[in-house]
Chains A and B, each alone.
Chain A
Amino acid sequence: MDKALSVQNITKRFGDFTAVNQVSFDVEDGKFFSILGPSGCGKTTLLRMIAGFYKPDSGTILFNGKNMDGVAPNKRPVNLVFQNLALFPMMNVHENIAFGLRRRGEKGPGVDKKVRELLERVGLPESGKKQISQLSGGQKQRIAIARCLIMEPTVLLLDEPLGALDAKLREHMKVELKNLQSQVGTTFVYITHDQSEAMVMSDMVAVMNNGHFEQIGTPQELYHKPKSSFVAQFVGNNNKLRVKLHADSSGNTIARYADQYDFKLAQKLETANENEEYDLFIRPEAVIINPGDGRENFHILPVDVTSILFDGGNSRLLVQPLGTEEELVVALPQTREYDYIRSKDRIQIGWDMNKTVCFKRSDWKLYDEE
């Protein structure tokens, strides 16, 4: 596969602050690549360097193997869908979409034909004459993408374009955007702070934090095999147990939770310092309610049910492990099997040892509370 975009060791500083720190990644031609990270992690800076609006302090950016060093944004084979879409209000829809072609010097019926084709592709065949102010949020979205796609860019960059939409429309646009991408086959580089958007749409996701990439992988890899504490917490929901480690007589790593529960880990970790704090992560859906006895490599934890959050297929139990003040989230399958559970019940929960991951505690701020 050819690399549509290749970013190598790119760094950008603003004064003392390093916004993007030694980031490298490749995007294969025709893929949907997402950069996922909380606000302020440097993802917009990275995108603006790829588009050419910022000059990197060091590192190189290549499109189809061509170095873009010193190439101005209007000369790059890349287009950017802005966060606020930035449609031109002084022009109608047709003129907006034709803008790039006209700047390239294309004239006549060829332009009209291309614009019409693209309007059809994004499902708005009749809106060429409309003013931008007459469009709904989702329509503006599609026009903004059409305006870039008509340029047939090597890479289309999208800067959280779904951010301004309401939740329902956002769900819809996610699927639509994914379909559009696979139809046109253009390479998409999408940045977002919404892990659901990144997971649903992308072939590959890079998780970004504090200016560097924590992990690059398929959504499944990120979800099931996070490589860092940050990824484990940022991608999908996760329960975090604060544990301390020690080794048992046969050399296995044991995580001790709340000074009373011992869990044997599948991984072997450094246990020299028994006071060092670790986090043990378990996905809510990996937790089994009242698992019964006799399972191998299984962790059992007695808990009190604090509340039942019924939400159809997404229902959850909030539970408090005995002897702690902490709260864990447990998926509650709606198979009617667990209908007997009531609030304040004492139950047991358990999970397979292989479904946990354990990382040294690292402190970072999650800005993502917008």
Chain B
Amino acid sequence: MMKNRRHIKWGFLFFFLPVVLWLFLLIVLPHLELLRLSFTKANTGKFTLDNYLAFFNEPIYWLTFVRTAGYSIIVTFIVMVISLPVSFYISKIVKERISGALMILILVPFWVSELIRVYGWMILLRESGILNHFFVSIGLFKEPVEMLYNDITMIMGLVYTSMLFMVVPVIGVMDDLDNSLIEAAYDLGASKTAIWRTIIIPHCASGLVNGGIIVFMLVLGSYLTPNLMGGKNSLWFTEQIYNQIILYFNWNQGAAFGFLLLALSSLIIWVLLKLTKQNLKEVVK
């Protein structure tokens, strides 16, 4: 009896310990160290609020910050808007066999790293790229146009790289939507837009918020896409952190920026949940 109980305990520890170690060593400990760094002076190690004050005193920092937040919200919104009809089509309109194939088509690009996918866009869009070549050859453009390195291209790239994380949860909830609800609304005189507004979107709210949180965090914290496709004029806040830590070797300033970004993402998600009257527990489910 005793032996048996000890057995169970060991088994439990065996699986539990790696989780605890992983959480503690890789997440809690580095964050504590970064938190300490963010409140200390670079060389002396004394307590200071300078790192945070620098953010508010230097417009380039907080402007980048606001820009990043604003664009992240826009990207999340665009992804939501696109994913709704896409999910509806995959989940409700096409036959089951085709919907599986379409799901795979959505998934396949994500087997390739983000870097490769972004380079793919660059090959298409750059001045000497395929699209320019095509448009010039059919006479639409007189000479090649630089389509990379602006905000619109960057947003498009961000939408593209984060699409999957919205489509998958939305298809999940869309599958649960009883078709007869749509028919009942139609039967009771609802137009197509009214059906979307009153039945489909409210039903998909949890999936949208779920996907919205993931997409928002991904976009806010993304580095590659804004850096490569946005060029020099489209600064992203993650680049500021990178610059502080890698270029200026100012870990303290970088840590402070990191925590500001964390605070920002938490705040916006909290507001999003409040606005949509969703419960984090429900959404995570």
Q: A residues within 8 Å of B by Cβ?
A: 51-53, 72-75, 79-80, 82-84, 86-88, 90-91, 99-100, 103-104, 147-148, 151
Q: Which residues of A contact B194 (CB under 8 A)?
A: 103
Q: Which residues of A contact B67 (CB under 8 A)?
A: none
Q: For residues 220 through 237 of chain B, which have their beta carbon under 8 Å from a beta carbon of chain A?
A: none
B187 touches A80 (CB 8 A): yes
How far is B189's CA from A202's CA once the two chains are assembled, in angstroms? Answer: 28
Can you identify 20 A-B contacts, CB atoms within 8 angstroms? Answer: A53-B187, A73-B186, A74-B186, A74-B188, A74-B189, A74-B190, A82-B180, A83-B180, A86-B178, A86-B181, A88-B181, A88-B184, A88-B198, A90-B203, A91-B198, A100-B189, A103-B185, A104-B189, A151-B188, A151-B189
Known A79-B188, A103-B188, A151-B188; 12 more pairs at CB < 8 Å: A73-B187, A74-B187, A79-B187, A80-B184, A82-B180, A86-B180, A86-B184, A88-B184, A99-B185, A99-B190, A99-B198, A100-B189
**Contact-residue size bin, chain B (C-beta under 8 Å from the other chain):** 10 to 19
Tell me if B's interface is mostly helix, strand, loop or mixed: helix
B188 touches A100 (CB 8 A): yes
Q: Which residues of A contact B202 (CB under 8 A)?
A: 90
B178, B186, B189, B191 pick with most chain A CB within 10 angstroms: B189
How far is B189's CA from A52's CA once the two chains are assembled, in angstroms? Answer: 12
How far is B199's CA from A151's CA once the two chains are assembled, in angstroms? Answer: 19
A82 touches B183 (CB 8 A): yes
B188 touches A82 (CB 8 A): no
Say yes or no: A84-B187 contact (C-beta < 8 A), given A90-B203, A99-B198. no
How far is B184's CA from A88's CA once the two chains are assembled, in angstroms? Answer: 9
**What is the distance, in angstroms, from A339's C-beta to the closest C-beta of chain B?**
53
**What is the distance, in angstroms, from B208's C-beta to the closest C-beta of chain A?**
13
Q: Which residues of B contact A51 (CB under 8 A)?
A: 187
Q: Which residues of B contact A99 (CB under 8 A)?
A: 185, 188, 190, 198
| Interface residues as binary, B155-192 with A (CB distance below 8 Å gives 1, 0 otherwise) | 00000000000000000000000101101111111110
**What is the distance, in angstroms, from A4's C-beta to the closest C-beta of chain B?**
17
Closest A residue to B192 by CB, please name it.
A74
Q: B residues within 8 Å of A by Cβ?
A: 178, 180-181, 183-191, 194, 198-199, 202-203
A84 touches B178 (CB 8 A): yes
Q: Which residues of A contact B203 (CB under 8 A)?
A: 90
Closest B residue to A159 by CB, please name it.
B180
How far is B186's CA from A79's CA once the two chains are assembled, in angstroms? Answer: 10
Q: Which residues of B contact A83 (CB under 8 A)?
A: 180
Closest A residue to B184 by CB, please name it.
A86
Partner of B191, one of A87, A90, A100, A103: A103
Q: Which residues of A contact B191 (CB under 8 A)?
A: 74, 103
How far is B179's CA from A84's CA once the two chains are assembled, in angstroms? Answer: 11
Closest A residue to B180 by CB, please name it.
A86
**What is the distance, in angstroms, from A40's C-beta to the closest C-beta of chain B?**
19
A82 touches B189 (CB 8 A): no
**What is the distance, in angstroms, from A272's C-beta to the closest C-beta of chain B?**
53
Q: Which residues of A contact B190 (CB under 8 A)?
A: 74, 99, 103
Q: Which residues of B contact A75 (CB under 8 A)?
A: 189
B189 touches A103 (CB 8 A): yes
How far is B184's CA from A75's CA once the two chains are assembled, in angstroms? Answer: 13
How far is B198's CA from A90's CA once the two chains are assembled, in angstroms? Answer: 9
Q: Which residues of B contact A103 (CB under 8 A)?
A: 185, 188-191, 194
Partner of B188, one of A53, A90, A147: A147
**What is the distance, in angstroms, from B198's C-beta to the closest C-beta of chain A?**
7
Q: Which residues of B contact A72 (CB under 8 A)?
A: 186
How far is B199's CA from A103's CA once the two chains are assembled, in angstroms? Answer: 12
How far is B202's CA from A88's CA once the two chains are assembled, in angstroms? Answer: 10
B188 touches A148 (CB 8 A): yes
How far is B202's CA from A285's CA once the two chains are assembled, in angstroms? Answer: 56
How far is B154's CA from A28's CA once the two chains are assembled, in angstroms? Answer: 65
**What is the distance, in angstroms, from B279's C-beta to the closest C-beta of chain A?**
15
A53 touches B183 (CB 8 A): yes
How far is B189's CA from A148's CA once the two chains are assembled, in angstroms? Answer: 11
A82, A87, A91 pick with most chain B CB within 10 angstroms: A82
Q: Which residues of B contact A90 (CB under 8 A)?
A: 198-199, 202-203
**What is the distance, in angstroms, from A183's C-beta to the closest C-beta of chain B?**
22
Q: Which residues of B contact A104 (CB under 8 A)?
A: 189
A51, A80, A88, A91 pick with most chain B CB within 10 angstroms: A88
Q: Which residues of B contact A100 (CB under 8 A)?
A: 188-189
Closest A residue to B191 by CB, please name it.
A74
How far is B189's CA from A222's CA once the two chains are assembled, in angstroms? Answer: 37
How far is B180's CA from A103's CA once the two chains are assembled, in angstroms? Answer: 18
Q: Which residues of A contact B198 (CB under 8 A)?
A: 88, 90-91, 99
Q: Which residues of B contact A148 (CB under 8 A)?
A: 188
Q: Which residues of A contact B199 (CB under 8 A)?
A: 88, 90
Q: Which residues of B contact A79 (CB under 8 A)?
A: 187-188
How far is B190's CA from A362's CA once the two chains are assembled, in angstroms? Answer: 46
Q: Which residues of B contact A84 (CB under 8 A)?
A: 178, 180
How far is B194's CA from A62's CA once the two chains are assembled, in angstroms? Answer: 27
Closest A residue to B188 by CB, please name it.
A100
Closest A residue to B205 by CB, please name it.
A90
Closest B residue to A90 by CB, please name it.
B202
How far is B191's CA from A181's CA once the two chains are assembled, in angstroms? Answer: 29
How far is B199's CA from A91's CA once the two chains are assembled, in angstroms? Answer: 9
How far is B239's CA from A150's CA once the two chains are assembled, in angstroms? Answer: 60
**What is the distance, in angstroms, from B280's C-beta to the closest C-beta of chain A?**
20
How far is B261's CA from A132's CA once the two chains are assembled, in angstroms? Answer: 42
**What is the distance, in angstroms, from B67's C-beta to the closest C-beta of chain A?**
36
**What is the distance, in angstroms, from B146's C-beta to the closest C-beta of chain A?**
47
Closest A residue to B181 by CB, please name it.
A86
Closest A residue to B202 by CB, please name it.
A90
